[in-house]
Structure 1
Amino acid sequence: MEEEEGGPPGPARNIGELTLVCIELTARLDELQDQEEKISCINEHINTYTSNQIPMIDFESGLEWFNVGRPLSLEKDVEGRVSVLDFFTYCCINCLHILPDLEALEEVHPPTTGDVLVIGVHSAKFENERVSANIQEAIKRYHIHHPVVNDAQAVMWTKLGIACWPTLLILGPSGSPLFVLVGEGHRERLLLYVNTAVQTFSKQSLLTRLPVPLSPSTHLEATGSILMFPGKVAVYPSGIIVSDSGHNRIILADTEGIVKVVIGSGRRGFSDGSFTSASFNNPQGVTFLHPNTIFVADTDNHAIRQVDLLLETVTTIAGTGQQGTDLEGGNLGASQAISSPWDVCLGRSVDQTEDEMENLLLVAMAGSHQIWGVFLSDGQWLKGSSYKQGTVVRLAGSGAEENRNTTYPLKAGFAQPSGVTLSSWSGEPELYIADAESSSVRKFNLKNGAVKSVVGGARDPLDLFAYGDTDGSGVEARLQHPLAVTCVDQAIYVADSYNHKIKVIHPSGKKYTISTVVGSKSLDTDMKLNEPGGVCVSLDGSCLYIADTNNHTIKILSLKDSIPKEFPLHFIDESDSPSQDFLNDNTSLAQLVTVTLPMEEKDAKEQRERDITLRIILELPENASLNKEAPNKWKLEASDLDFHLIASQGKLEDIETEVPLTLSSTAISGEIEMKLTLCCVLFVCLTSGMCVKTTSRHCVIFKQGDSQNSGEKRITVDVHVKPEVPEL
């Protein structure tokens, strides 16, 4: 029935109209100060759409589901509770930004209570994202525990008229839509809508609170590598730096792959401090500044971290730990909020010469679709501007998600820039950018500010769907969600992530031409790249290091023959380490064992030997297992030469390990105590996929006294080793 001209609009009839109604509702709520008035306004809206229901469609049959024991349906699982459908695609930075909002909602309304159910409806943008195996990897990577369905053809999206990613559709207990939230930044509104709906429908006894067959543990398993979803890789004088993103830490390894330094506790968090206490959250880009500094794009902490290799400390130089909405910047250090930095590289302010130290950290700010800078010292910039040391400021990009090229850098448009590298081979410093959502490589001239296309993308700056896998020149070439770039001589290498390839760009007249170096869309080839997220050139320019993200490994690619090889990282063999490395301040005194030996005669002069067996018994948590491919070690140190150690060190390969030794009985005559120190280094893998190195110290004290072992020549001493692992 049509409304009379000039009369109030009737209830929305579809999701599109409901979206507009919810925008108006948001405006009304913003005008209200009293919380009770807001709740009353929301209840008025709920009552309207309880009595005038918008039709809802069910999930298609035959779709693949994750984190749940069976496919869900509207009738069996959605009705009888308040449900939140998250229409998302895992490439989208805005979709990633609302995952913490959904986690916050689930903390208030745990799935076990049955009153609220969050369901991710994955509606892919890219072809690569339609593959269930790739979605499952993204679910692991981003710690998604609620049910997710792969609606590969976006059937529900299309039939409901969903317009963009992300969109949250909140359903009432009848399964009918109540609210629509489009885009990010709605945490407070989401919680208010859902809390009010739960209270209202609880009073009406409309919530059945039936259990849902959740099984989030089904997708959690060890990777078989010390890495988990490595994001980026960079070089430094002694080897490579890897952002071990899934383990929330940074790893430094030499050119043989031996891990020399681990930076970060491995726990998700945001804290400065020592290498063992500092915490990161999905760190991505890394870069080295001579002589002892590493900069890290700490993506999900929305921060830039500085690592001092000499002091062994981590500090924050930009970002507050919370996502920022500022599109201009200009504040100093950690007072400037930023949004999802994804990569970093070093450059110079316009007043610096090439023989001077780099003083400008360039940041691919994926969350705000811009390029930012952190001034490491006072410096000048374009159009006569100047900035003090520590200033964090936008250098290019309006903040609009576009593929817009222009000679005015602040009017340029980027679409989730995710990789940056600097080159001066053209005669001027140019920043090459992997612009993920426009599926293109762009360049930003740091002398004149011009932003131009290199390869890929579309001519229309608003078209972000010009993707594919086509070698060629300019905009005729096609990439699919590239995430990293690196330069050597006049070649630009690209991690074409969703095509599972490494490609190379060369200048060709006024254009650039791109071609495939290695990789294939098929994951059954020998190379088997799987969404590579990082790439860098070795210091001598002879090879590429590749962060093969979904394969949880680093690969090395010779540029002479384009033959890729595994570059397995491994911890150093602890038997080659000095004892102070074995017994450092971070070693916990896990157990004190006292052994009483029978009394010897005071005047006994004959030295007698007593055989002792130390039985090392490993007691691992239920959620952990021993990584038997790692160098698990035991080592003994005695306080006196009267101990005869048959072996001072060895491997720990089983749950029980026996270590023989002998001790002179006369050595402990009188009241003297003899001490033996046992140290164990274990590499433990959790079911979450995280592998951690643990070190424990056990002191065994031998003394005389009344003993039940007086008639036994050999005594067995049990030492129970209980490694401490992080609680995730």
Structure 2
Amino acid sequence: MTMAPELPRGLQWLNAPATTLHEQRGRIVALAFVNSASAWCAQRLNDLAVLQARYLGRLQALAIHVPRFDSERDPQQALKRLRRHGNALPLAHDADWVAWQRYGVDAWPTVLLIDGEGQVRHRAVGADGLQELERQIARLCDGLHAPPDDDLRSFREIHPEPRMPLCFPTGLVATPDRLFVADSGHHRVLECNHQGRVIRQFGMGTADFADGELNHAAFRRPQGLALVRESLYVADTGNHALRRINLPTSTVDTLCGNGRAGEPTDGVVDVARNVALNQPQALVVNNNQIFMAMAGDNRVWSYDLGTRELRARAGSGQLDVRDGSGPMAAFAQPAGLAAVLQTLYVCDAVGSSLRSMQLRGDTVQTLVGQNAWTFGADDGPREGARLQHPQAIALSPDSPVMWIADSGNGSLRTLRLGGGDLTTVALPRALHGPAGLSVAAGAVWIAETDAHAVLRYDIATGELSHVPIDE
């Protein structure tokens, strides 16, 4: 065992008063080194929040954010991204990787367990090992007396997000007269008209996992949406589930997912709640199959609506940008999907890349991007063009153009299919963390996620306007 070094004085605390390890003496500290772009880190922070509630007063989780992308060096942007995933733990920003180096960290996420005497007792690295982490926390906390009620030292966030009609909206589906919005931070899905009037709300608006009628069903941070005839499919990311909204009956059911992150397996889904998924983030339907971008395991999966077969289509599970067929390919946190004919397009967020997958053979090819550490904002031919943490893509229904929500650069960009260049769309201002796109009725509909807003970009005139949803 070694004594944990003190936290660097230069840390910028974003949502809580500054603290030190010395101030936390007498209880267990889970010091988590995380990155706001990482699905694995988001899941680990959620795990720690649950454990902290279980051992209230005996365990304090502290998160240290270390940036990967240039955009994440902005502390407010990092805070927004982690809040988008539901994080409410005390968060410090380590812009220059000082704490990272002081504690000898070399991977996201890393959790150090520090006992009440200030000694490091356990180090958990990566997305796996939750059971061992829970066991170690239980062992350390069982040796502590529960504090009296007036000494729980409960944490309250400072500078919380403003109360607005939307909270971190993500997935969008636009039709000629409707707009469906995954209002992720409010744990609901909205059906609106193009003027923003809410017609129906699906989900109670509290984070839970329940099927049933629209007012009794519940979601947890839903993100991706896909509409096929009278069914709206939902990537219920926080519940690790694929859900379906029957629009004529206003009811919600679950196709697969048990509410907990796990390792998906191939096979027919006989009982929906017996199947584990891992942070499904985006959906698209093609040829009676729902394709899922599974951010938590870096793969693309399909669910057959006829046979109910769940199948891994491409990706090794490793976080990488590698071309190949099926499991020989690798993705770096796929976050967006689009499809036309026999081609699936994948927005690879952490890889800052755009990929294509031929559905005959599941062969993956990189269109734009290099690897998980190469990013930028360069336009031009694909070989030299760069993106930074793109979050969503959408195809024009009447032209070979892909629209891209280039979240890290705060921009809307286009790629002409068939070998065309990457281009940045001229907008009157930068976008704030865009993470959802849909194209319909002569417009690109944009989820400006970090601004809690939905925008409409008129393709013909170039006008960018706010859609006043539920205002």
TM range (shorter): over 0.9
CA contact (8 A) 1:80 1:208 kept: no
**Do the aligned partners of 2:46 and 2:87 also contact (CA within 8 Å) in 1?**
no
RMSD (CA atoms) = 2.3
1:339–1:329: structure 2 CA closer, same or farther, 3 Å change rule? farther
**Residue 73 of structure 2 corresponds to residue 73 of structure 1:** no
Distance 1:210 1:260, change over 3 A: closer
- Within 2, Cα distance between the matches of 1:135 and 1:451? 31
Number of corresponding residues: 468
Q: What is the deviation of 1:55?
A: 4.6
Pick one of 410, 413, 416 that aligns with 1:503. 413
- How far does residue 491 in structure 1 lie from its aligned partner after superposition? 0.8
Map 1:99-178 onto structure 2 (within 5 A).
99-110=45-56, 113=57, 115-178=58-121
CA deviation after TM superposition for structure 1 residue 168, in Å:
0.6
Instruction: Give the 3 Å change call, closer, same or farther, for CA 172–532 of structure 1 in structure 2.
Output: same
Query: What TM-score does the superposition give when structure 2 sets the normalisation length?
Result: 0.93
Shift of 1:194: 2.1
Alignment of 1:280-295 (within 5 A): 280-290=219-229, 292-295=230-233
Matching residue within 178, 185, 198 for 1:239: 178
Task: Tell me the distance in 2 between the aligned counterparts of 1:237 and 1:374.
Answer: 27
Residue 369 (str. 1) matches residue 298 (str. 2): yes
Residues 328 and 303 of structure 1: is their aligned pair in 2 closer, same or farther, counting only changes over 3 Å? same
Between the aligned partners of 2:149 and 2:215, the Cα distance in structure 1 is: 43
For 2:183 and 2:145, how far apart are their aligned partners in 1? 45
Task: Give the Å deviation of 1:122.
Answer: 0.9
**Equivalent of 1:390, from 308, 312, 320?**
308
Alignment of 1:509-524 (within 5 A): 511-518=419-426
Residue 440 (structure 2) pairs with residue 533 (structure 1): no
Kindly provide the amino acid, as one letter, of the partner of residue 62 in structure 1: G
SS in 1 for 2:425: strand
Which residue of 2 is the match for residue 251 of structure 1? 190
The amino acid across from 1:315 in the alignment is D
Structure 2 unpaired stretches of 5+: none
Distance 1:96 1:535, change over 3 A: same
C-alpha offsets along residues 242-286 of structure 1, whole Å, 9 cap, x if unaligned?
A: 101011111111122221111111010110000000000010111
The one-letter amino acid paired with 1:311 is T
Change (3 A) 1:252 1:529: same
Once the two structures are superposed, residues 369-423 of structure 1 have per-residue CA deviations (whole angstroms, 9 ceiling, x without a partner) of 111111112xxxxxxxxxxx211211222222221101x2232111110100112
What is the one-letter code of the residue matched to 2:19?
Answer: L
Taking the aligned partners of 1:332 and 1:452, their CA distance within structure 2 comes to: 33
> Distance between the aligned counterparts of 1:287 and 1:243, measured in 2?
11
| Amino acid of the structure 2 residue aligned with 1:499 | N
Assess if the C-alpha contact under 8 Å between 1:140 and 1:219 holds in 2: no
Give, in angstroms, the shift of residue 56 of structure 1: 3.0
Equivalents in 2 of 1:210, 1:528: separation in Å?
A: 46
Q: Is the 8 A contact 1:119 1:146 kept in 2?
A: yes
AA aligned to 2:434 is P
Question: Alpha carbons of 1:210 and 1:176: their partners in 2 closer, same or farther (altered >3 Å)?
Answer: farther
User: Do the aligned residues in 2 keep the contact of 1:336 with 1:392 (CA within 8 Å)?
Assistant: no
Q: Does the alignment pair 1:479 with 2:392? A: no
Matching residue's letter, 1:415: A
Matched position secondary structure for 2:195: coil
Q: Give distance in 2, aligned partners of 1:368 and 1:134.
A: 25
CA distance in 1, matches of 2:46, 2:79: 19
Question: What is the CA-CA distance between 1:456 and the residue it aligns to?
Answer: 1.6
Which residue in 1 is equivalent to 2:124?
Answer: 181
Q: Distance in 2 between matches of 1:208 and 1:121?
A: 28
Match of 1:98 in 2: 44
2:7 alignment partner in structure 1 = 59
Aligned amino acid, residue 336 of structure 2: G
**Is 1:402 aligned to residue 331 of structure 2?**
no
User: What is the CA-CA distance between 1:172 and the residue it aligns to?
Assistant: 2.0
CA distance in 2, matches of 1:197, 1:210: 22
| Alpha-carbon separation, structure 2, partners of 1:550 and 1:569 | 15
Structure 1: distance between partners of 2:456 and 2:176? 17
Alpha-carbon offset, residue 82 of structure 1: 1.7
Between the aligned partners of 1:562 and 1:273, the Cα distance in structure 2 is 42
Partners of 1:485 and 1:333 in 2: how far apart? 32
When normalised by structure 1's length, the TM-score is 0.61
**Among residues 326, 331, 346, which one is paired with 1:414 in the alignment?**
331
* Percentage of identical aligned residues: 28
* Conservation of the 8 A alpha-carbon contact between 1:56 and 1:177: yes
Q: CA deviation at 1:90?
A: 1.4
- Do 2:32 and 2:62's aligned partners in 1 also have CA atoms closer than 8 Å? yes
- CA–CA distance in 1 between the matches of 2:271 and 2:388? 34
